[in-house]
Amino acid sequence: MKTIIETLAVPATPEAEVQVTNYGCDECEFTARRKDDVLKHVAQAHAVRDRITSGEAEALRFNTEDDARGWMSIQSSDRDRMDWQGPGWYVPKEYSEPCGHGCCRKWVYELVPLGTYLSEIQEEGRDKLRTFFRFRKLVAEREAAHVQAG
């Protein structure tokens, strides 16, 4: 983040001057008087370097942990989690979980490395296939029993 200090003349009193500090984005010409505004701008405009969408899932590319944390900071949730494993692709996941006291639920926003996410959906797919083949076998057995009895 750039720090820009300007000395400005005060219009009502020409001999008076005031110093104004602005902050600027390192990647574009955006400037603001507050650091937080520049950090928010960076999170919104520059943190995500690339994105891929497949079905309902989206993968985001981050180059630095600070970029990922900045992007997470502008998402709306009660809890943020991130498993940073270096520059690369991450999948945002949203879900709720019980609070620490068990009296309510908290909204969680999590960034998961793409490899971890793919492993999770591969396992879910295996579970669904196992269920599919079990049902198919059980239905075939029951139908055969009905035909014999029938």
Mean of all residue pLDDT scores within the chain = 89
133 belongs to a structural domain: no
Residue at token pair 């900071």? 73
pLDDT at position 117 is 95
Bin 44: left if φ > 0, else alpha if -120 < ψ < 50, else beta: alpha
At 67, the pLDDT band (50, 70, 90 cuts) reads very high
How many domains in the chain? 1
Amino acid at 116: T
1 belongs to a structural domain: yes
Structure tokens, 147:
């035909």
pLDDT at position 30 is 92
70 belongs to a structural domain: no
pLDDT at position 108 is 87
Structure tokens, 126:
């295996």
Is pLDDT above 80 for 119? Answer: yes
Please give the Cα distance from 78 to 129 (Å, whole number).
35
Mean pLDDT of the region 49-55: 94
Amino acid at 44: Q
Q: Which domain holds residue 12?
A: 1-46
Is pLDDT above 80 for 13? Answer: no
113 belongs to a structural domain: no
Beta bridge partners of 90: 60, 113
Q: Where are the beta strands (DSSP E) in 99-141?
A: 105-113
Please give the Cα distance from 39 to 80 (Å, whole number).
18
pLDDT, tens digit, for every residue of 69-106? 999 988 876 778 899 999 999 999 988 999 888 899 98
138 belongs to a structural domain: no
pLDDT at position 77 is 66
pLDDT at position 118 is 95
Name the CA radius of gyration of the chain, rounded.
27
80 belongs to a structural domain: no
